[in-house]
Structures are given as structure tokens and as C-alpha cells.
Amino acid sequence: MKHEDSVLLHTEGRVRHITLNRPRTLNALDHAMVLRMGKALDAAERDASVVAVLLTGAGERGLCAGGDIRSIRDDALAGGRTSLDFWRDEYRLNARIARFPKPYVALMDGIVMGGGVGVSAHGSLRIVTERSRIAMPETGIGFVPDVGGTYLLGAAPGELGTHLALTGDAVGAADALACGLADHFVPSGDLPALIAALDTCTTPEAVVATAESFAGTAPGGELAGHRDWIDACYAADTVEEIIERLDDCGVPAAKQAMTTILAKSPTALKVTLAAIRRARHLDSLEAVLDQEFRVSSAAFTRPDLVEGVRAQIVDKDRNPRWSPAELAEVTDEEVARYFAPLGDGELGLGQGIYDRRY
């Protein structure tokens, strides 16, 4: 597939359509796609005839399953650095989407994970359906939520974001709305009519009103009924204490969460908890993306990312051999190394030392 075919661009009326077009890989993002999206946003912002951008995914399974983690593993094994270049531009795109001055409508239908969250959940109008399954599953591959995920999850009510970050659990429409990851529920059968209506809009205000006019009530979620034990257990200061509280609280769902967490990379769990807590004290998405770039750069050099992708994607034996294998073996000093400044290698979004053009 040619690079230009992996992201399709066209204009209907005054709406610029961006379609992620790698359905065989669930529209997984690669570097070329990120750059093409960035250029499309620049063009859409400059074009006075364009009043909004609409993001969709090709195929029936979902918007985007995330980044191309198999290629990231290959790069790490080869001792390369192209993944760092990819993340640098991907995180710039996430910030660009969040600050885009026109309505950015993302149809978060089906599977939306990792990098898919980054290109959708920072938009101004985020639509979910009964088919939506939204997750930041990075701890399961020895990685840490990125693409602004720690910013989004850190801002979720109570400790819901901490729960989702550590477990990597996927949520449906109602829970995505409750966590602030989406704005409106629209039944999947109504999406063609919504798109057609958006294409008739001639002002940003009309785009917003049209999206709102299609919004309905999402089918019941699960997280609201679990807030008591989630907030109590995940408020602990360490992953070990969170595990202890989940084990002791006597709720079957909490016990299941504990089992899920204990299967993840111990290092990724501790770094993720620290990243979420630190993100809450940073003053902007850009500052959080800077932090995430430091964390991702460190994770790229550690064994758990390569091993996690091997177990989940390459060999699919679902039996990762984490190093270290136990939470108690992950020291505070090792966690702190993930947040160390990168010197000239900093992303620099929080300081405004980047060119947003692609």
C-alpha cells in the first residue's frame, strides 16, 4: 500500500474527511500516517472553506487499534531509533489535535486503543457507539500509556483512570463518557446519517449542533457501580498497596482486577502509576506529552517492551517473562530513571520549542 493510501483525504461540502485506511491491521498507525494526518490538519486549518474535520476508520472492526507495535519491537531489537522519531511526531500530532481551532469530530466506533485514543480522544467532538471498545492496554506489553493517555486518565473522575491504566481494561460507550474519553453516544446505525448531516454544515456552530442532535443515551456502563472500591483501592500510594487493597476488599470484581494487574509488567505498572500521579500536577497536555516522551524513550531501551510484544503479538503465547518478574524487585530508583530529562532530546512541547507544521 502506498503511504498516501493509508490515510485517505477528501472534502464533502465544507468538511474535511480523514480516513485511516489499513483495515487489515485495524488501522494501526505508522509514521507515514502520522505525518500525513499532520499535514492534512495544517491544510484544513489554513483553508477558510473548511469548517470541520471528521476522522473515521476504514473497515468494520474499529477506528484504530494503536501504533504498529510489531515494528517498534523490530526497531528495538535492531538497536534503532526510528521509533523515537515516530513517537516524537505522534505526540506532536496529539497536541495538534487538542488545539485544533475548528471542530475535530472523531467517530470512535469499534476498537479504539493506544494510539487510536491519541488521534481521537483529544478531539473536540468524540462520538462513541454501542460497538466502542476503548482502552490503553500498554502495561500488558511492558509499556506505559502514552499519546496523552496519562493526561486523559489522570483527569478521569476519582481513581477510574488509575484502574484503567493499570489493568488495561477496555470500556464501552457509557464508561468512556463517564471517564471523559468521549462526548456523545450515537448508535452505530445512525453514523451514515450523522456523516451526511455533518457534510451539509456550513459553520463550526452547525457542526457542533448537528453532532449534539444525534446524541442519545448510551447503554448502561459498569464503572459507576464500582466507584466505591475503585476509589478506595486505587488511592493507595504504591502498586503493592493497591494490590493488597483489591485483595482485601471482598468484591469479586476487585479480585479480578487484582489478577489482571498481576499479569502485567511489574516495571510498567510502577512507572504507569507514577506517570498518572505526576500528570495530575502538570499544567497542560503538552507538559504531560513531554513527560510521556521521556518515559517512552526509557521503555524503548528496556527488555519488557520487546518481551511483551513477543508474547502478545509475535508468538502469541500470552506468557511474557518480565524482567524483573516481581513488583518488589522494581526499585524507586529504577522508576525515577524513566522520568529523567533527555537534554537535547526533549520533545519540548511544553516549552513551545517545536514547529507544529508537518
* 115 flagged as catalytic: yes
Q: Which of 30, 90, 109, 146 is catalytic?
A: 146
Question: In angstroms, what CA-CA distances link 97 with 33, 74, 94, 184, 221?
Answer: 14, 29, 5, 18, 27
CB-side exposure of 86: number of CA atoms within 13 Å? 22
Residues 6+ apart with CB under 8 A from 326: 266
Question: In angstroms, what CA-CA distances link 200 with 49, 53, 183, 203, 204?
Answer: 13, 13, 21, 9, 11
* 68 flagged as catalytic: no
* 220 flagged as catalytic: no
Q: Which of 30, 90, 138, 286 is catalytic?
A: 138
* 118 flagged as catalytic: no
Q: Is 46 exposed, middle or buried (0-12, 13-18, 19+ CB in 10 A)?
A: exposed
Q: Which of 115, 142, 154, 168 is catalytic?
A: 115
Order of all β-strands in the sheet with 62-64: 62-64, 111-113, 133-135
Q: Which of 57, 67, 110, 172 is catalytic?
A: 67
* Positions marked active-site: 67, 115, 138, 146
